[in-house]
A and B are shown apart, each in its own frame.
Chain A
Amino acid sequence: MTPDYDLAVVGGGPAGVAGALTASLAGLGVVLLDSAARLGGQYFRRPADGFRAGRPGALHHGLDRFARQCDRLAARADVLTGHRVWSVEREGSALAVRCAEGDREERPRTITARGVLVATGAYDRPLPFPGWDLPGVITAGGAQALLKGDLVVAGSRVVVAGTGPFLLPVAAGLAAAGAHVLGAYEAGGRLGLAAHPFLAAGRAAEALGYGLRLARHRVPYRGRRAVVEAHGDDRLTHVTIARLDRDWRPVSTRTVECDTLACGYGFIPRIDLLVQLGCAVRDDHGDPAVVVDAGMRTGVPGVYAAGETTGVGGALLAEVEGRIAGRAAAADLGRRVPPDPVLSRRRDRMAAFARALRQAYPVRPGWQGWLREDTLVCRCEEVPLSAVREALELGAADARSVKLLTRAGMGWCQGRMCGYTVACLTRDALPVTRRAIAEPVRLGDLAAWPRPADDPASPDDGPASPEGRSR
């Protein structure tokens, strides 16, 4: 059976779009799938057409360029938005990409391709603290998504907290959109990056730009501060902000009234599909990242990864990696692709910068002291810290056995919110969860897909078919 496409690209952010465009320009038949209604991923998240945003580019660096890439891509490849991919696996000589198409009325669909480029990005890493489950507490990425995607300012009195350079654009974006941002609190040293001045140089202008915007809106940006507790009866009314020592243990506290807290402690690569495929995973400063070679090839033939899946590094690096992956995929399928050493050098330089950034903003262990016995660790299954401690007492010795004994990580988010926390609390090594189902999928859709005719469980001829019986 001939595969539908040469290359299927999963993820329509900077890495996926660049990879798909590069591969299609090199002569491959390409399909790009994304779960959202519009391409862009998290970084280039844009309002739907109906919003008629006045200046959508105001919230983004490089949106015009990205939009041009999308237009060029649409002209030479199939772009399938609204497709949630829940499994990729080898099927004979092809790779089968299984997805659910559509929103409320989902339809199952399987697409086959010779190669797959997985560019599924990353998601927020929250850390728990008392009250983090109150309405009004959102992730930093969530606040940014509301702003970029829905043009919604998350609140009127907003506190931004967490660690990493991402806090700056979140605080600046919210302030520019009219929120009263009471402060941006960086748990690490505010000048963390200054320790790497030669690396910082390349991006100093960008950081300075955010700094100026924060200053213009009189938003204080403080280091060694964190929100260690959120208060309110049925929704957030105020937060406790602590001054921290080097290990993030609170030294002193004060409270601030606010209606919204946007909180984020970095990002975790979304690598479910790559783990399904059996790709090797490395420890990237405590987070899982997929191992790739200089051509963004994973160890699994025909499978490529680009962007945050290979280690969190931001949109610019993601685009470069996408282009490299697209070229490698084309070359591997016999297309003539001249070498581009400049691209590779750019990737090396930017990846080194990303590594330095991540080293400059580590999560320090003192946050565990912010928790109380009744603080929820897993929100989906409402598992408090005390239950995790009890499981450890009972003989659980790793994140998986804590999950089995407490249900932490068994709910809707499948441990994406609490996996990091549970691993830290159990002092487990890097948790790499194999998820056979990367996205929830209806049983009816799972049941309906085509199987070989000799399969006795085929719904068409199965003895237990309800249609068959009612006739």
Chain B
Amino acid sequence: MPDVVVVGAGIVGAACAYYAARAGLDVVVLDRGPVAGGTTGAGEGNVLVSDKEPGPELDLALLSNRLWRELADSGPDGPGPGPAGGGFEFEAKGGLVVAETPPVMEALADLAVKQGVEHAVVEPGRLRDYEPHLAEGLAGGVFYPQDAQVQPMLAAARLIRRGGESFGRGALMLRTGVTVTGFVRDGDRVTGVRTDQGDILAGAVVNAAGTWGGEVAALAGVRVPVLPRRGAILVTEPLERPLIRHKVYTAAYVTAVASDSEGLESSAVVEGTPAGPVLIGASRERVGFDRAVPASVLGRLAAQAVALFPVLAGYKAIRAYCGFRPYCPDHLPVIGEDPRAPGLYHACGHEGAGIGLAPATGHLIAQALTGTRPDLELTPFRPDRFGEETP
């Protein structure tokens, strides 16, 4: 019998499993699909501190940023940036947030001070020292050296693999193609999962089902309101030479992340990748699980990217993909044990920041599982903070 069953083999489930195994627990990871097949496989791999308002999410992001660096440095391929980076292309490339107008620039600079994160305010005339191909006439920007990028699918797969290899192959097992259908209970207490391939008893269960975390919670009779928000990403042809060095985005991204709007919102997020293509985000729409991204959304992403980097106009988009970011009404993730169902821990609802926040989430869950005092206060992430009414 394993100590922990982790439901979901995305990046958050992988991190929970990795840190739980590192803490000495026996872990089984289940996924109804393959590894990293959900939202993890449909993002950009953002590891950002720059886009977080001061508060619990920024604290989580800073802890996570430090842990990502540790993971990259301790990888089998050795430390360092570049394609090897921990075996999952960790790249500490830094993020450049640009402002279109002076008032926005002022707000950006204020935010940076409040965040208390390592940063440099960039005068309009110096923007091209950072990004030579940026458009004319921007009002300035803020550079965040801690912002980084990983290849999220590789990161999830390798964390699970590395956990198994480092802490004993029996200690961390991945089982794909297994669907959780319910929970085994002993009174209120969760003592395992029911699956389409039989029951698995365990000391604890971690719900890391991402966008589907609300459904898994419902199987245990508890309400955790996680809803899908569709994000689309446009991918260019591979560029022969890197045109864009950092993660570059407009200030509008910060407001869109925290927005409650139902309709389409988008802001330019542009970055190169080690493999050559440029990734262009980010749109956010609440349209349920509809995978058909309208061409107009792609047009808007392209327009915003070209406005930021006019040179991109001549390059071709060769594909687009979308994913469903799991968001909670207050835009904070759910992390910790559920008092309504002891033995059930949640680690879901990270919206568009799940890649960046995964290691800290896994680390905190492992601390909770082993009864260690958590490095961060978990109260803001309580699973029962939403009440029982439907939103």
Contacts and interface: CB of A to CB of B under 8 A. Distances in A.
B142 to A, nearest CB: 17
B316 A469 contact: no
Interface in A434-471: 434-437, 440-444, 446-449, 451, 455, 457-459, 462-466, 468-470
Given A464-B250, A469-B137, A443 B315 contact: yes
B296 A401 contact: no
Interface stretch (A29-37, A178-186, A391-399): A391-399
A444 B306 CA distance: 7
Given A457-B266, A466-B135, A397 B177 contact: yes
B158 interface: yes
Contacts of B157: 391, 394-396, 405
B303 interface: yes
Interface stretch (B30-38, B60-68, B362-370): B30-38
Interface stretch (A41-49, A151-159, A335-343, A410-418): A410-418
A460 B315 CA distance: 21
Given A394-B158, A441-B317, A464-B307, A407 B275 contact: yes
B196 to A, nearest CB: 15
Contacts of B35: 394-397, 401, 405
A462 B310 CA distance: 14
Interface string B281-319: 000000000011111101110111111101011111111
A470 B310 CA distance: 12
Interface string B233-252: 01111100000000000100
B362 to A, nearest CB: 17
Contact of B100 (A401, A437, A464): A464
B310 A466 contact: yes
Contacts of A463: 100-101
A15 B319 CA distance: 27
A381 interface: yes
Interface in B297-354: 298-300, 302-308, 310, 312-322
A286 interface: no
Nearest to B318: A440
B108 interface: no
Contact of A447 (B138, B176, B303): B303
Q: Would you call the interface of chain B mostly helix, strand, loop, or mixed?
A: mixed
B153 interface: yes
Interface in A384-434: 391, 394-398, 400-401, 404-405, 407, 410-412, 414, 434
B317 A465 contact: no
B305 A443 contact: yes
Contacts of B77: none
Interface residues of B, number: 63
A290 to B, nearest CB: 16
A444 B161 contact: no
Give the interface centre of A401, A441, A447, A465 by most chain B CB atoms within 10 Å.
Answer: A447
A89 interface: yes
A87 interface: yes
Contacts of B177: 397
B160 interface: yes
Interface string B250-279: 100000000000000010100000010100
Interface in B125-173: 135-138, 153-154, 157-158, 160-161
B7 interface: no
A98 interface: yes
A437 B302 contact: no
B174 interface: yes
A-B interface, 9 closest residue pairs, ranked by CB to CB distance from nearest: A469-B137, A444-B313, A395-B35, A464-B307, A446-B302, A397-B34, A401-B34, A447-B303, A394-B157
Given A397-B176, A440-B316, 9 more contacts: A397-B34, A405-B36, A436-B295, A447-B306, A447-B313, A459-B303, A459-B307, A464-B304, A465-B307
9 contacts: A395-B161, A397-B33, A401-B41, A443-B312, A446-B298, A447-B299, A447-B305, A463-B101, A469-B138
Interface of A: 87, 89, 96, 98, 276, 278, 381, 391, 394-398, 400-401, 404-405, 407, 410-412, 414, 434-437, 440-444, 446-449, 451, 455, 457-459, 462-466, 468-470
